[in-house]
Chain A
Amino acid sequence: MFRSRMATFGVAALVLTACGGGNTAAPQKKTELTLYNDKGAWTKFFDEMGALSKQSIGLGMKPTGYTDSAQYQAFIKASFRTNVKPDLFTWQTGGMLEEIVKQKQVADTTAVWQEAIKAGDLLQDLAPYYTIGGKQYCVPMNVAYWGMFYNKKIFDKYGLKPPQTWDDLIKAADTLKQNGVKAFYHTSVLFSFVWFEQLMAGTDPDLYDRLSTGKAKYTDPGVVQVMEKWKQLIDAGYFINPGDKTDPGDVLKNGKAAMVSFGTWFNTSMTQRDMKPGTDYDFFVIPNVNASLPKTSMIFESGPLCSLTKAADPDASMKYLKWWTTAEAQEKWASSRGDVSANPKVTIKDEALGAVTKDAGSGKYRLVNRYFEATPPAILTAALDGFSKFVTEPGTYKEVLDTIQKSADEYWSTHQ
């Protein structure tokens, strides 16, 4: 069959001396692993982890960071066909993980999970995101809970408190509006999905789940209502202009908007700007739109750290994944970035985030998989475009839903 190796032909002929591709020797024993990731900005933190692991389990690690996750994913997929195999790599949960597990590429981590759950290093609640066909794959590289970061000084100035109900939230937005302050941040680039998933999850989380598996349509009345609700909020003037290109960290810091919804990793943006939790800013869980839901829905994001069945040294890779879940590793990983951890034993320095993690661990929330991971790439691409159009021209919501559904129809017609 025609193979991707076509070009090899050329390159190999060009460099006759280059030793050909026969690096398929017996498994080596590795003392340093490479960790491919699409979080190029975290290189410093990965390096620190590498130094720590070398110390404690005698296994070093060097990161290879990418900056564009789409390109990164293409690269990892292509690497399966070559002899350049990452020892460890970051990935996405949801369909993306399922896809590469189906290819029998990803090493089974069921044993690691069982042990970690028994030792209290991982929560049973997390397992479903990592379970495919009854087995676990990869371990959580990071976790993040989504909620609302708010400018504490603005809240204090207008006597506002973190809202307990959706009505409270809207009341707060109204108070801000009367005082000429924009309540919410949103954008038309990349994170255009944030308010959609939040409103969906807070209105009908089951519908949200069905939507991401192709069992519901974007044109269903429930989805249309959510878009109408979103449009109402925009029309009411609560949002800043989506064409505002200010970094969201600066939006919140300078009070351009009083509230910014992001995952807990946004905390890094705050600390990098010398913002003090509790005095300059704080965090609350966004209340459900539909007050009758039994649990508050919380958007949840987790990025897996995986290894391959055909890794150069599968044992070393597995050993590393196991170490990664331990409290020692996670303490370092969370504290260096000022973020939360998948390990419930880790104490989170930031009070508000610590509380959220603890509550989430005790089952207080209904965790909803982030739209980015929950939606297959082809539909996601159309949806991100659609939502970015919608935030710019809210009147187009019906057309936007039709367009997204069109690509959903096309996708689901060839997948299952």
Chain B
Amino acid sequence: MIRRAVLIVLGLIWLGPTYLLLVNASRPATSYDPASAWVPSGDFALLENFGHAVEGANLGGSLASSALYSVVSPLLGVIIGALAGYTIVVLRLRHGFWWFLLIFGGTVFPSQMMLVPLFVSYSDAGLYDTHLGLILIYTAINVPLAAFVLRNFYSGVAFSIFEAARMDGASTWRIFWRIYLPMSVSALTAVFILEFTFIWNDLVFGLTLTQTENVRPVMTAIAGLMTDVYAGTPVPVGLAAGLVVSLPTVVLFLATQRLFARGLSLGSV
């Protein structure tokens, strides 16, 4: 009982700012007053605000690109990373720790500093303003995270499972694909969620490595409205834009809930 009570209290605190977001994104654009930001407005203007935000902007192409990047790159990243983790831990790759360190090392570089060199090399390699270019960089960023999570996840799995499969004559690839990957669905999904959200909300790479509307991610079209003082965007319009573009991520959270719902049978409460 205490556990539920603590969760509910914490949850309510967490919902406070979410409430502010909803209330103010739904408020008619011209009636925003920060002094009474928490008072709900009688009129529901969320869609109107969002419509106002994207007026004239061609979001169709960007939405499709964003969806492409945020699904394909995490998928690739998760599989490549999981394979690396599996090789290091289960196949006991020689110098595995150092391989792991090499891969995880990809996370230590500040991404802001990568922009200019990446732009220069992308334009030389013909990758600038291509879907492939963005998929590559997003995948590369995902790999270390996936490798880390899956490496550690597999390290907790009994080695006897692998041995038994080998005894049955399964190839190492088959064991990975048929046994280890399915076994780690919850870990893979958690990583996928993280990566999806990162890519969907990414601005820096999307801005620097693309140019045409059909290749640019959707965030690049929205962000200016929310931050640029020259735009003069009323707060409810900016919030509505932020809220609506977050919806795919929220849907992903809710759709994957089931996978994390299986608790251990510890027989409590």
The answer to whether the Cβ of B257 comes within 8 Å of any Cβ in the partner chain is no
Per the bound structure, the CA–CA distance linking A249 and B234 in Å amounts to 8
Report the minimum CB–CB distance from B266 to chain A (whole Å). 46
Per the bound structure, the CA–CA distance linking A254 and B33 in Å amounts to 7
Q: Per-residue CB proximity of A18-47 to B under 8 Å, as 1/0? A: 111101000000000010100111111001
Report the minimum CB–CB distance from B35 to chain A (whole Å). 7
Question: Which stretch from B65-73, B123-131, B176-184 is at the chain A interface?
Answer: B123-131
- B233 cross-chain contacts in A, Cβ below 8 A: 41, 272
The answer to whether the Cβ of A273 comes within 8 Å of any Cβ in the partner chain is yes
Considering only CB atoms, which chain B residue lies closest to A44 in the complex? B56
Considering only CB atoms, which chain A residue lies closest to B211 in the complex? A64
Report the minimum CB–CB distance from B139 to chain A (whole Å). 11
- A190 cross-chain contacts in B, Cβ below 8 A: 229
Interface size on A, residues (CB 8 A): 59
Per the bound structure, the CA–CA distance linking A271 and B224 in Å amounts to 18
Contact B231 A268 (CB under 8 A): yes
Contact A21 B117 (CB under 8 A): no
Report the minimum CB–CB distance from A240 to chain B (whole Å). 12
- A66 cross-chain contacts in B, Cβ below 8 A: 207
The answer to whether the Cβ of B220 comes within 8 Å of any Cβ in the partner chain is yes
The answer to whether the Cβ of B120 comes within 8 Å of any Cβ in the partner chain is yes
The answer to whether the Cβ of A57 comes within 8 Å of any Cβ in the partner chain is no
Considering only CB atoms, which chain B residue lies closest to A39 in the complex? B230
The answer to whether the Cβ of B268 comes within 8 Å of any Cβ in the partner chain is no
The answer to whether the Cβ of A83 comes within 8 Å of any Cβ in the partner chain is yes
- B203 cross-chain contacts in A, Cβ below 8 A: 67
- B157 cross-chain contacts in A, Cβ below 8 A: none
Contact A43 B123 (CB under 8 A): no
The answer to whether the Cβ of B104 comes within 8 Å of any Cβ in the partner chain is no
Report the minimum CB–CB distance from A36 to chain B (whole Å). 8
Contact A34 B211 (CB under 8 A): yes
Contact B224 A5 (CB under 8 A): no
Per the bound structure, the CA–CA distance linking A402 and B204 in Å amounts to 35
Which residue in B56, B117, B207, B229 is a CB contact (below 8 Å) of A47?
B56
Report the minimum CB–CB distance from B245 to chain A (whole Å). 14
Interface size on B, residues (CB 8 A): 49
- The answer to whether residues A18 and B207 also contact, given A44-B56, A246-B34 and a CB cut-off of 8 A, is no
Which residue in A10, A34, A249 is a CB contact (below 8 Å) of B121?
A10
Considering only CB atoms, which chain A residue lies closest to B224 in the complex? A40
- The answer to whether residues A78 and B224 also contact, given A15-B127, A247-B235 and a CB cut-off of 8 A, is no
Report the minimum CB–CB distance from A92 to chain B (whole Å). 14
- A247 cross-chain contacts in B, Cβ below 8 A: 234-235
Contact A71 B123 (CB under 8 A): no
Considering only CB atoms, which chain A residue lies closest to B216 in the complex? A64
The answer to whether the Cβ of B122 comes within 8 Å of any Cβ in the partner chain is yes
Per the bound structure, the CA–CA distance linking A207 and B116 in Å amounts to 37
- The answer to whether residues A21 and B34 also contact, given A4-B117, A265-B230, A269-B232 and a CB cut-off of 8 A, is no
- The answer to whether residues A11 and B125 also contact, given A254-B35, A265-B230 and a CB cut-off of 8 A, is yes
Per the bound structure, the CA–CA distance linking A44 and B228 in Å amounts to 14
- A23 cross-chain contacts in B, Cβ below 8 A: 126
- The answer to whether residues A83 and B212 also contact, given A66-B207, A272-B232 and a CB cut-off of 8 A, is no
- B117 cross-chain contacts in A, Cβ below 8 A: 4, 6-7
Per the bound structure, the CA–CA distance linking A4 and B118 in Å amounts to 10
Which residue in A8, A71, A246 is a CB contact (below 8 Å) of B120?
A8
Which residue in A14, A67, A246 is a CB contact (below 8 Å) of B220?
A67
Q: Per-residue CB proximity of A44-87 to B under 8 Å, as 1/0? A: 10011000000000000010111110010011001101111000
Report the minimum CB–CB distance from A189 to chain B (whole Å). 10
Contact B232 A82 (CB under 8 A): no
Contact A12 B235 (CB under 8 A): no
Q: Per-residue CB proximity of A196-219 to B under 8 Å, as 1/0? A: 000000000000000000000000
The answer to whether the Cβ of A404 comes within 8 Å of any Cβ in the partner chain is no
Report the minimum CB–CB distance from B40 to chain A (whole Å). 18
Contact B234 A273 (CB under 8 A): yes
- B118 cross-chain contacts in A, Cβ below 8 A: 7
The answer to whether the Cβ of B249 comes within 8 Å of any Cβ in the partner chain is no
The answer to whether the Cβ of A274 comes within 8 Å of any Cβ in the partner chain is yes
CB contacts under 8 Å to A, within B14-37, are: 29-30, 32-35
- B33 cross-chain contacts in A, Cβ below 8 A: 250, 254
Contact A43 B224 (CB under 8 A): yes
Per the bound structure, the CA–CA distance linking A250 and B32 in Å amounts to 8
Per the bound structure, the CA–CA distance linking A271 and B128 in Å amounts to 38
Contact B228 A39 (CB under 8 A): yes
Which residue in A10, A12, A40, A62 is a CB contact (below 8 Å) of B212?
A62
Contact A78 B116 (CB under 8 A): yes
Considering only CB atoms, which chain B residue lies closest to A268 in the complex? B232
Per the bound structure, the CA–CA distance linking A390 and B203 in Å amounts to 32
- The answer to whether residues A41 and B136 also contact, given A8-B120, A67-B203, A249-B234 and a CB cut-off of 8 A, is no
Which residue in B115, B119, B124 is a CB contact (below 8 Å) of A12?
B124
The answer to whether the Cβ of B185 comes within 8 Å of any Cβ in the partner chain is no
Per the bound structure, the CA–CA distance linking A190 and B124 in Å amounts to 35
Q: Per-residue CB proximity of B135-164 to A under 8 Å, as 1/0? A: 010000000000000000000000000000
Contact A41 B228 (CB under 8 A): yes
Which residue in B125, B208, B220, B229 is a CB contact (below 8 Å) of A18?
B125
- The answer to whether residues A41 and B34 also contact, given A7-B118, A18-B125, A81-B120 and a CB cut-off of 8 A, is no
- What 8 A-B pairs are tightest by C-beta distance, nearest first? A40-B224, A41-B231, A269-B232, A268-B232, A82-B123, A8-B121, A41-B228, A41-B224
A–B pairs, 14, beta carbons within 8 Å: A15-B127, A20-B124, A20-B125, A21-B126, A42-B224, A42-B230, A74-B116, A83-B123, A250-B34, A250-B234, A268-B232, A272-B29, A273-B234, A274-B30
Residues of B at under 8 Å CB distance from A? 29-30, 32-35, 55-57, 115-129, 132, 136, 203-204, 207-208, 211-213, 216, 220-221, 223-225, 227-235, 237
Q: Can you add 5 more A-B contacts, CB < 8 Å, to A11-B122, A78-B119?
A: A8-B125, A15-B125, A18-B126, A64-B212, A82-B124
Residues of A at under 8 Å CB distance from B? 4-12, 14-15, 18-21, 23, 34, 36, 39-44, 47-48, 62, 64-68, 71, 74-75, 78-79, 81-84, 190-191, 246-250, 254, 256, 265-266, 268-274
